Amino acid sequence: MQTWNDILGITKSRNATPPRRVERTEAEWRAQLSPEQFRVTRQHGTERAFSSDMCSLFEPGKYACICCGTVLFDSAEKFESGTGWPSFTQPIAADVVAYHADRSFGMIRVETLCNVCDAHLGHVFPDGPPPSGLRYCMNAVALEKVGATEKATQ
């Protein structure tokens, strides 16, 4: 289980080696994604809080990157944070999420990206529930819910 100190350490050193890589041109991403998905995932945007029903979905399943299909989160780690964005306590594996220090807007945060395709997912904060104490605050448009047994796409 990762801790806040682990994540801070990763932002100062290097991210885990991804399980695979998916790279596309900007034109290919634009053709694949909706304008909002492109803005959020490829241009590091943020969707409006409470703009998705995904916050209130707690059925069993997995959540994958909308860009490359890599499974990132399990519904067992999802919780209601009250922030208006889907929130998780841990990624499904240590090598699927990358972390970068984000010093935009006059604050220091930790940005989360898909480690396979570099899609912007959201941010992680140290104010989540025990035992990890982490809150992965994700943009719903960056994720797609997949069945409990589905695997990542290539």
If one counts every other C-beta atom within 10 angstroms of the C-beta of residue 15, the result is: 15
Catalytic residue among 55, 65, 114, 137: 137
Domain ranges of the chain: 4-146
Per the CB < 8 A criterion, the answer to whether 75 and 59 are in contact is yes
Please report, rounded to a whole number, the percentage of residues in the chain having pLDDT higher than 70.
Answer: 95
Residue among 37, 29, 22 at smallest CA distance from 69: 22
* Alpha-carbon gap, residue 17 to 30, rounded angstroms: 26
Annotation marks residue 114 as catalytic: no
49 class by beta-carbon count within 10 Å (0-12 exposed, 13-18 middle, 19+ buried): exposed
* Alpha-carbon gap, residue 18 to 9, rounded angstroms: 17
Which are the contacts of 57, defined by CB distance < 8 A and separation ≥ 6?
A: 75, 86, 145
User: Which pLDDT score is estimated for 16?
Assistant: 94
User: Which pLDDT score is estimated for 56?
Assistant: 86
Answer whether residue 95 shows pLDDT above 50.
yes
The model's pLDDT over 45-91, given as tens digits with 9 standing for 90+, comes to 999 999 998 988 889 999 999 999 999 999 999 999 999 999 999 99
pLDDT band at 153 (very low <50, low <70, confident <90, very high): very low
Fold classified for 4-146: 2.170.150
Global confidence as pTM: 0.90
pLDDT band at 150 (very low <50, low <70, confident <90, very high): very low
130 class by beta-carbon count within 10 Å (0-12 exposed, 13-18 middle, 19+ buried): exposed
